[in-house]
Amino acid sequence: MRSKLSKPLLHLLGILVSAAVSLAAWAAWLGWDQHRDVHPDGSTTGPYEAWQVIGLVLTLLLTVCGAAYRRHFAAAVLGTTVGLTAAAGYDWSDDSSGLWVVGVAMVMLGTLLATAAASAVTASVAGAAADGS
């Protein structure tokens, strides 16, 4: 009975840890930069720079591939998706136009597809490496 209960709890724990890592990565890479840059011609960019988003993606790619390599697919895909979706929702919810909901939905869908693809590739490479040795 104890082993039957512990496996789902371990999966849930993996998902929660992955979500927490995703939230922390968002805060570290994007959470501190909240101001748009105004250029001399009056146009604005930001608030994020390309290097911040690239850093976030590479950080999460390492964690997703690490979890997928260990066959923790739910943690890799669902945990990361939940974490980034929650972080984006919290960070962008002060937008009065209401378009932040569309952005959060796009983050959720993009993260779900990207983490599933990265997990599949990692599992395939890990399986091929295990078969070859």
User: What would the pLDDT profile of 11-65 be if each residue is shown by its tens digit?
Assistant: 899 999 999 999 999 999 998 877 777 888 888 777 888 999 999 999 999 999 9
Q: Is the pLDDT of residue 129 over 60?
A: yes
Q: Residue 5: what pLDDT?
A: 63
Cβ(85)–Cβ(115) under 8 Å? no
b/e per residue 60-75 (b: at least 16 CB within 10 A): beebbbebbeeebbeb
Q: Work out how many domains the chain is built from and give that number.
A: 1
**62-101: per-residue pLDDT in tens?**
999 999 999 999 999 999 999 999 999 999 998 889 899 9
Residue 25: give the domain boundaries.
Answer: 2-132
**100-119: per-residue pLDDT in tens?**
999 999 999 999 999 999 99
Give the mean pLDDT of the chain: 90
Which tokens sit at 33? Answer: 């930069």
Pairing mode, strands 37-38 and 44-45: antiparallel
Global pTM? 0.86
